[in-house]
Amino acid sequence: MNVLKAIAKALGKLLLWLSGVALGVAVFFGGVLAVSYHFTTETKLPDAQVTLAGAQLNANGYRWHVPLLAAMLDKVFEQSPNLTVQKLGEVNESHPTLAVPDWVNYGELEIENEAGQTVFAGTLEEYNTAFAFAANGEYKASIRLWHLPQGMSAAQFDDTAGRVAKNPRLESPARPSGWYSYTVRFSLQATPTVILSAAETVQGSVVGVLLTGVIGTEAPVASCDLGPVVFEKTAMGWRGYLPVAYNAWAGEHTLTVTSGTQTAEAVIKVSGKDYGTAKLAADPGAESGSGGQQFRDKIWALYTAPSGGKAWMGRWVCPVERYELLISYGQQKEIAGEKQGQSNSSLLSTRAGDIVRAPASGKVAFAGFLQLTGNTVVIDHGCGVRTYLYGLQSLYVKQGMDVVRNGEMGEAGTLLTMDVKIGNKSVDPWTLFRGAGGLFWNE
């Protein structure tokens, strides 16, 4: 009995000691938490530096949960959005750029016109990728930019009142989560502007064209005696490529671009280029028989056919590795001592059975046998740029197939004709194989 009493007494003392220790630990951590709470101030909030069309925006409200010690709790900083509307004045960008800090991983925008009608309501990503203003005018934008822990949506964020909140423990290390809000007014007055990869160039080249300041989603239309431009929409504006053929007139050419009721112009100065002469005893590319009408029906129709978006990236590759260049692009042909016209294509002597490869990514626009050119492959690389390959021994591809750079098109015969065109104008492929020129501008 005495032993049991002694054990009970010892256990009581142990429990009392443990309670004291637990209380001490609780007091200690409570104190540390209180100190952490005290020294966690608004200086811990994320940077609010946000610009719209280059103008600094001022936040008119926020709510942030800032982790305390060990992220057990968050201290809440809050300022309810006020009615302040920041006036930015005139904005000349057709799609005002909203530049945000790295911590932003979600955003919401609502844009109204001067009549109070909502012209856009969506996410920051949708604004950057899918929205275009339909007209110049007065606009009001309400913006809320968030940092949310991974796996949490804006609707799940604890936006209730209170100075302390439970940390969701979704980020390690824990970071402030919450939002800033902004409200701005601006007058959109965008004007189309043509920017060129080069204002001066030589025959056989390609000039990159960028059109900024375009209102609406309708593709602009270009007019120039050098050739066609097929535009595609990008984050920077409308992008296209202007061919400068081997026989383009040396001098100044005016490119006129029309977007709706507005026009913009740019001048390109072209210099002549001597491509030399190809002297041959006989014409190795001479064709016999008919097939001219078939060629016109199948190939010429592609010059003005719809084209996809830009599919290539970086320099192109020659379709064959082993070849002898018989006639190069732009060369004056002299056959059996008789001068003929300049060549708009390149004629290669190839080894039968060697693989013919795609010079760049794209989609097969035609693959088949033509009486005039034998087995023929046409690849649409986008923006009106196409490669025409004639004289293959066999074909591996079919019309409609997607191909990548170096992808196998078929087998070579003894001669391969190679022509790169933008619309109906041929350009120098050997420049493309070096990755030089306007075709690779602003990639």
Sign of the dihedral defined by the CA atoms of residues 430, 435, 437, 441, in that order: positive
Q: Label residue 280 by pLDDT band (50, 70, 90).
A: confident
pLDDT tens profile 183-193: 999 999 999 99
pLDDT tens profile 412-438: 999 999 999 999 999 999 999 999 999
Strand partners, 74: 67, 165
Asked whether the predicted pLDDT for residue 28 surpasses 50, the reply is no
Asked whether the predicted pLDDT for residue 317 surpasses 70, the reply is yes
Separation between Cα atoms, residue 343 and residue 333, nearest integer Å: 7
Which residue did the predictor score with more confidence, 84 or 40? 84
Query: What is residue 286's predicted lDDT score, i.e. its pLDDT?
Result: 59
**Cβ 82 vs Cβ 171: under 8 Å:** no
Separation between Cα atoms, residue 162 and residue 160, nearest integer Å: 7
Separation between Cα atoms, residue 67 and residue 44, nearest integer Å: 10
**Cβ 358 vs Cβ 319: under 8 Å:** yes
Domain assignments of the chain as residue spans, ordered by start: 45-188, 193-271, 277-440
β-strand pairing of 277-280 with 332-335: parallel
Which residue did the predictor score with more confidence, 150 or 350? 350
- Location of structure tokens 């740019």: 266
Query: What is residue 29's predicted lDDT score, i.e. its pLDDT?
Result: 44
**Cβ 226 vs Cβ 204: under 8 Å:** no
Q: Quickly count: other Cβ atoms within 10 Å of residue 411's Cβ.
A: 18
Sign of the dihedral defined by the CA atoms of residues 135, 136, 141, 147, in that order: positive
Name the nearest CA neighbour of 366 among 294, 432, 287, 312.
Answer: 294
**Cβ 331 vs Cβ 278: under 8 Å:** yes
Separation between Cα atoms, residue 362 and residue 359, nearest integer Å: 9
Separation between Cα atoms, residue 296 and residue 298, nearest integer Å: 6
**Phi then psi for 19, rounded to 5 degrees?**
-65, -40
Asked whether the predicted pLDDT for residue 46 surpasses 70, the reply is yes
Q: How far is CA 362 from the centre of its chain?
A: 16
E strands, 236-331, are 237-243, 251-259, 262-271, 277-280, 323-327
Separation between Cα atoms, residue 120 and residue 133, nearest integer Å: 9
- CATH number at 193-271: 2.60.40.10
Domain 277-440 in this protein, CATH class = mainly beta
Q: Please, how many CA atoms are within 13 Å of residue 202, restricted to the half-sphere of its CB? A: 9
**Phi then psi for 39, rounded to 5 degrees?**
-90, 0
Quick check: do 193-271 and 277-440 share a fold?
Answer: no
Separation between Cα atoms, residue 237 and residue 195, nearest integer Å: 10
Separation between Cα atoms, residue 333 and residue 33, nearest integer Å: 87
**Cβ 209 vs Cβ 242: under 8 Å:** yes
- pTM comes to 0.77
DSSP state of 422: E
**Cβ 69 vs Cβ 33: under 8 Å:** yes
Asked whether the predicted pLDDT for residue 25 surpasses 50, the reply is no
Q: Label residue 41 by pLDDT band (50, 70, 90).
A: confident
Which residue did the predictor score with more confidence, 206 or 70? 206
